[in-house]
């Protein structure tokens, strides 16, 4: 009877998980009414959320807009598209507009073109008539909200999207795995081994953060060119694998792992590799998840280093390099750039969504012990 009641309670809890999330996000300091602290807290959180996510939401909405609407003043948040009509004698659809006539009436006409400060309009009912001229300030475009995927399909047809995506995925996943492996080994040695000069080595690793990337970029490129990695994906993956930030993050977290646990494993005859792989790595999952998110974002968004190493070869280029192909000296295709930028954000957002529950634990635990 007791087990049946517990099962029933678990089922009820599972069905009402939405209510639990609601209670979590709308918790109050006061039991019955909102206090001043609650009001200030929620106001601060709402303002911060708007500031953080509104530019991203604006970019997503703009990716559905046609190019002429991106330069529209005043700008619009929703993706408005002009309503067009196809008329005989014209090789392209004509946008509809509401024109204010000299007698004060408003007529819906089709816009043929523009001559100076006047728009040339025709009546869709009588397209054979000569166009009339109306001043631009008296013409209002007829638009509708439509989430059109033309920008996405056009951008994917203009350049080899799937080739760039494959290269970006290979580089990002390979570099992230190698980064986690190398940095965790260094962190394990610096946190659990006792040897002379350990702190000096750690300080040297941390101090390398002060060295600008531009200082070491040419020497590193000469090294990979000497070993034959120039113009190869491996030249993009290997050089930035070991990161001082990753070593610091993992080392500080591994310091919180009890030394007695390591000593007990050694007494039981476990090798250092087994202790590292079977004990330390599972316990350091929160910190590894945080480093995985950082590494994934670094490698996925990297532009300069792949551009230098790969030499602009199309078959080896990444998505970030491909985005630059839409920007010329005299023309910038903002509609296509926005569409491809949204697509490049999806993998990073997916990884962050999967691993975000480890972020607070991983970062908060890095400074508990020095």
Q: What are the sequence ranges of the domains in the chain? A: 2-61, 84-141, 153-367
Give me the pLDDT at residue 170, please. Answer: 93
C-alpha span between 240 and 309 (Å, rounded): 12
77-122 residue pLDDT tens: 888 888 888 888 788 888 888 888 888 788 888 888 887 788 888 8
Read off the pLDDT of residues 203-222 as tens digits, 9 standing for 90 and up. 999 998 888 888 888 899 99
Q: Was domain 84-141 assigned CATH 1.10.3470?
A: no
Do 76 and 92 contact (CB within 8 A), yes or no?
A: no
Q: Which pair of tokens denotes residue 359?
A: 């972020």
Structure confidence at residue 2 (pLDDT): 47
User: How confident is the model at residue 186, as a pLDDT?
Assistant: 93
Q: What per-residue confidence (pLDDT) applies to 234?
A: 92
Distance, in Å, from the CA atom of 13 to the CA atom of 23, rounded to the nearest integer, reads: 13
Listed in sequence order, the residues at least 6 apart from 325 whose beta carbon sits closer than 8 Å to its beta carbon are 158, 159
For the 153-367 domain, the top CATH level (class) is mainly alpha
Q: What's residue 183's pLDDT? A: 94
The pLDDT, as a whole number, for residue 29 is 62
Position 346 scores a pLDDT of: 87
State residue 16's pLDDT score: 47
Rounded alpha-carbon distances, angstroms, from residue 311 to 47, 238, 304, 329: 44, 17, 11, 20
pLDDT tens, the chain, 370 aa long: 444 554 445 444 444 445 555 555 566 665 667 677 777 888 888 898 888 889 889 999 989 988 878 877 788 888 888 888 888 878 888 888 888 888 878 888 888 888 778 888 888 888 777 888 888 888 888 888 888 888 888 888 888 888 888 999 999 999 999 999 999 999 999 999 988 988 899 999 999 888 888 888 889 999 999 998 888 899 999 998 889 999 999 998 899 888 899 999 999 888 999 999 999 999 998 889 889 888 998 899 888 899 899 887 878 888 888 888 777 666 778 888 888 888 888 888 888 777 777 666 555 555 444 4
Closest to 164 in 3D by CA, of 320, 328, 343: 320
At residue 243, φ and ψ (nearest 5 deg) are -120, 135
Predicted confidence at residue 80, as pLDDT, reads 86
Strand ranges inside the chain, DSSP E: 80-82, 84-85, 94-100, 106-115, 118-122, 132-135, 139-141, 143-145
Output the pLDDT for position 334.
84
Describe the crossing of helices 285-301 and 244-254 by its angle, rounded to 10 degrees: 170
Query: How much of the chain is in helix, strand and coil states, percent to nearest 5?
Result: 60, 10, 25
Rounded-to-integer distance, Cα 338 and Cα 125, Å? 38
CA-nearest of 37, 11, 42 to 26 is 42
């Amino acid at each position: 009877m007791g087990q049946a009641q517990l099962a029933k309670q678990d089922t009820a809890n599972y069905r009402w998980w939405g209510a639990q999330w609601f209670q979590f996000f709308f918790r109050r300091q006061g039991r019955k009414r909102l206090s001043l602290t609650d009001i200030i807290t929620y106001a601060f959180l709402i303002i911060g959320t708007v500031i953080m996510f509104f530019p991203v939401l604006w970019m997503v909405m703009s990716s559905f807009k046609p190019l002429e609407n991106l330069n529209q003043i005043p700008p619009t948040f929703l993706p408005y598209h002009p309503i067009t009509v196809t008329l005989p004698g014209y090789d392209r659809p004509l946008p509809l507009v509401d024109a204010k006539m000299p007698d004060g009436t408003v007529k819906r006409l089709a816009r043929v073109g523009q001559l100076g400060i006047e728009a040339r309009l025709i009546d869709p009912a009588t397209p054979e008539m000569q166009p009339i001229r109306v001043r631009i300030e008296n013409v209002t475009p007829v638009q509708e909200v439509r989430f059109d995927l033309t920008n996405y399909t056009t951008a994917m047809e203009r350049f080899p999207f799937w080739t760039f995506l494959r290269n970006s995925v290979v580089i990002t996943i390979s570099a992230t795995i190698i980064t986690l492996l190398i940095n965790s080994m260094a962190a394990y040695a610096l946190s659990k081994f006792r040897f002379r000069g350990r702190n000096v080595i750690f300080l040297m690793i941390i101090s390398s953060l002060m060295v600008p990337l531009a200082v070491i970029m040419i020497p590193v490129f000469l090294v990979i060119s000497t070993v034959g990695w120039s113009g190869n994906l491996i030249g993009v993956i290997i050089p930035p694998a070991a990161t001082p930030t990753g070593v610091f993050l993992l080392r500080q977290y591994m310091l919180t792992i009890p030394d007695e646990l390591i000593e007990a494993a050694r007494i039981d005859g476990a090798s250092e590799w087994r202790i590292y792989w079977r004990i330390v790595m599972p316990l350091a999952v929160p910190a590894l998840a945080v480093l995985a998110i950082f590494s994934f974002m670094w490698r996925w968004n990297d532009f300069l280093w792949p551009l230098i190493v790969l030499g602009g070869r199309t078959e080896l280029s990444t998505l970030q390099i491909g985005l630059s192909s839409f920007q010329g000296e005299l023309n910038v295709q903002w509609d296509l750039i926005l569409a491809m930028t949204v697509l490049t954000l999806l993998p990073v957002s997916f990884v962050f969504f999967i691993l975000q529950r480890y972020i607070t634990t991983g970062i908060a635990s890095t400074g508990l012990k020095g």
